[in-house]
Chain A
Amino acid sequence: MRDYVLRRLLLVPLTFVGITFVAFCFTRFVPGGPIEQALAERQQADRKRSSAARPSGPASPEELDNLKRRYGFDRPLTKAYAIWLGIMPGPADWTTVRLGKDGKAEAEVADELHAGQSFKLEIKLSGKSFAVTTLDGKPRDPWRAEPAPLPDDADTATRILVYRKAYAGLLQGQLGDSTGSDKPVWDEIKSRLPISAWFGGWSLLLAYAISIPLGVAKALRRDGWFDRISSQVLFILYSIPGFILAVALLQLLCFKLGWFPTMGFNWSRPFYHSFLPLCCEMIGAFTALTLFTRNGLLDNLAADYVRTAKAKGLGNGRIVFVHALRNSIIPLAATFGGNLGFFLTGSFLIEFTFNIPGLGLLGYDSLVHRDFPVFLGLLTLSSLAMLLGNIVSDLCVAAVDPRIRFDKKT
């Protein structure tokens, strides 16, 4: 078992790199990315201003170059990915300056040692390379300078890029900044996490807490009126996707009858706001789990070992709850890990319908607004959760069923 888990854990990074690389490729080849958006915003701003005051038109090559550098589009794909992942150093706190006629330039950059402060660097051309020192001539280590020429540059002074070499990727726990709000991606995610965790946690808890007893009750009163009617209802509910139910409930109970709030989420009355979304998020998992439990229990009650247990005079309760139920929740345990991803990202169709500012809606917004750092950050979290969830599933199965041994070659 230990070997199996270790082997699975070793595969996680590989698969994880595969997933994020595919997603990273997606974000690179998409039109309408952050650069095009920044340009469009600029054009709109120009149009609003009086056109006589400032000449409007396409952005200058300098601005374009700055934008490209800012969003990491100046590097080739693999290099950009390696920097995002944090296995290659990338330029941080960079700025561009023009070299004076005397071969010197000053650049004001953010101080990496004192947060929120800035200081000045002096760049001197010495031979073919640049020497970077503080104003009083002391060398400052991580800071570099390199020429950053522009095509068709009218300005004859050499343009140089001053930057600090630093690892700032996923491995260092940094997901970059959102291109929409300029806040760190992690902050954006952190602000949404409690709501998603609230919904994910409760829907998970309720789904299991209701479906298992219900499934047992249905199995014990097999083919009775309760079993038949509830099976029909569950079957219909199972066929309805949550978001369709969400629209129906929203219209009927919120708008028509006014029993529940129509939109959004508020921590002051969490259950009032989350009752309907929780119902809709649960419905798919809940119905499937109930039927799973019922059918699994029926299978097991018909098995030979139950007959043996009966024959040796065990009580009915002990047979059902200790012997049969334990075996019939094995398939449930296999699905448990999948919930981990759901716990994080939630159902964004339902968050979209009820306008709940959770992680699902954040992902949707980041896609619509092409906020790739946020999107990649969310994908990172959810795929990690899913990969770990798969392992958790296996562990759950092993925990409830000692017969299952994954390390045995079949």
Chain B
Amino acid sequence: MSVFDPITVKRFQRFRSNRMGWWSLLTLLALSGLAALGPLLVGNRPLVLRLDGQWRFPVFTGFISGKDLGLATVAEPNYRLLNRDLSANHRGWMIMPAIPFAADEVCEVMPEVSQDREGRWCDPKGVIAEGRIFTLNSLGTRQQVWSVINGTLNGDARRFDKGTSVARAKLADGKVVLSLPEKDATDWKPQGALYTLIPSPCPPGLDGHWLGTDESGHDIVARLFGGFRILLMAALIYLPAVYAVGLILGASMGYFGGWFDMFWQRAIEIWSNIPFLYAVIFLASLLEPSLAILILILVAFSWIGLAQQLRASAYQVSARDYVTASKSLGAGHARIIWRHILPNCATVILTTLPFSLHGLVFSLSALDYLGFGLPPTEPSWGDLLHQAKENWHAWWILGPTLFCLVGTMVMINSVGEALQDAFDLRRSQR
């Protein structure tokens, strides 16, 4: 026995029997669950921080000043560097999220350098053609910097103290040819832990960036994760809003008919002939784009199709005998709409839901791709796609972004197809 009525059970079974749709739905739900974890999974604040015998939970408490942790700066510490320190001098330990980068965090990828057999300086990818190697002080800023050309020390070298340059030297083929001030006792031989800076976008596999970084130094995994979260958030606002507008207008147009219907039909015709993306670009370039405003604009342009579908189904239902019967029994408009029109619209709503979602992903990505979407600090798949177009050698931006976009869109559409099958809208094909 089931608590649901037999038709619902049958539909659910039919839905499950479409394997691709069913698994797509499960995958999408699982991914949404992961996205709901948010900073617990992807972020630059540790879940647990045990420091000098004290328990802290920065991911929940938010900002902690470096002073409170016994560091020199007031700013929030870079926990990844702090982690390195902690394990080195046994002050404590911490648990970082699985992806220890925030979506809006600009990362400098600084792998350690080594010398090959011929004494040339190499980063993990090979001999440094042109770049710098440097040592870091405890705050994570440069202490001593050397220029490297073709693996040998060539050109400028500087030593910094609290961010200001205190000594400089000129090197040629690894030898000092000039140093300033002259009586400086700085040793210009590179020693200690030496790092080099990889320019963004940085290829995968360095410094814990599994998929590399994008052109402004954001971690790609964190960006993709953040972009998915934003899409989810957008869907949570967009879908109720667009269905509310479409349902109210569409159902009342179909139900009342007459002049009301005529007027809105013309309005819809006018509104739907205004090119959607042009209008959105137009409005998005006027108003300061934020997620809420973008969604509002999208809702303003995407209720039309829905309203038309709902109008058609409301129109059909309102001509049925049982509606006439309840009218003759004295039922008011509100009751008829609530008891008869809306339940019949439920099928339309459920089966069009995935396609509305598909449209949302498309519109948001297209806008971000064109540069009229969210501000660039916000992570978005469309922005990554744009970067992939601009940096054609950076396959690590294109590949994962393409995978996520195409995967999500195919999965959403599969759920839609499966739902249509379940509701028997395409009976003839089976």
Contact = CB atoms under 8 A, between A and B. Distances in A.
A382 B406 contact: no
Given A244-B385, A247-B398, A295-B426, A352 B409 contact: no
Contacts of A113: none
Contacts of B278: 363-364, 367, 375, 379
A236 interface: yes
Contacts of A298: 428-429
Contacts of B266: 14-15, 18
Nearest to A387: B273
B85 interface: no
B286 interface: yes
Interface of A: 14-15, 18-19, 22-23, 26, 30-32, 235-236, 238-241, 243-244, 247-248, 250-251, 255-256, 295, 298-299, 302, 345, 348-349, 352-353, 363-364, 367-368, 375, 379, 382-383, 386-387
Contacts of A19: 270, 273-274
Say which size band chain B's interface belongs to.
Answer: 35 or more
Interface of B: 266, 269-271, 273-275, 277-279, 281-282, 285-286, 358, 362, 365-366, 369-370, 385, 388-389, 392-393, 395, 398, 402, 405-406, 409-410, 412-414, 417, 426, 428-429
6 contacts: A22-B270, A32-B285, A236-B406, A244-B385, A247-B369, A251-B388
By DSSP majority rule, is chain B's interface helix, strand, loop, or mixed?
Answer: helix
B428 A295 contact: yes
Nearest to B428: A299
The 9 A-B pairs with the shortest beta carbon distances in the complex, nearest first, are: A18-B270, A255-B392, A239-B413, A239-B410, A239-B409, A299-B428, A383-B273, A19-B273, A247-B389
B96 to A, nearest CB: 33
A27 to B, nearest CB: 9
A14 B262 CA distance: 13
Contact of A353 (B282, B389, B395): B389
B366 A30 contact: no
A318 to B, nearest CB: 22
A382 B398 contact: no
Nearest to A295: B429
B410 A386 contact: no
A280 B30 CA distance: 32
A18 B402 CA distance: 40
B389 A250 contact: yes
A32 B281 CA distance: 14
- The secondary-structure label for the interface of chain A is helix
Given A31-B286, A251-B398, A243 B366 contact: yes
B206 to A, nearest CB: 22
B277 to A, nearest CB: 7
A169 B409 CA distance: 45
Contacts of B392: 250-251, 255-256
A379 B275 contact: yes
B278 to A, nearest CB: 6
Contact of A367 (B271, B285, B405, B428): B285
Given A22-B274, A244-B385, A295-B428, 18 more contacts: A19-B274, A31-B286, A235-B413, A236-B406, A239-B410, A239-B412, A241-B365, A244-B405, A247-B385, A248-B402, A251-B395, A255-B393, A256-B392, A298-B429, A299-B429, A364-B370, A375-B278, A383-B273
Contact of A247 (B273, B274, B388, B412): B388
Nearest to A31: B286
Nearest to B391: A251
A49 to B, nearest CB: 30
A32 B414 CA distance: 44
Nearest to A303: B428
A373 B380 CA distance: 33
A302 B426 CA distance: 14
A235 B270 CA distance: 32
Contact of A349 (B286, B366, B429): B366
A240 B286 CA distance: 29
A298 B430 CA distance: 10
Contact of B406 (A240, A243, A345, A367): A240
Contact of B281 (A353, A364, A382): A364
Contacts of B279: 26
A255 B393 CA distance: 8
Contacts of A375: 278
B366 A238 contact: no
Instruction: Please indicate which of the listed interface residues A18, A31, A247 has the most CB atoms of chain B within 10 Å of its own CB.
Output: A247
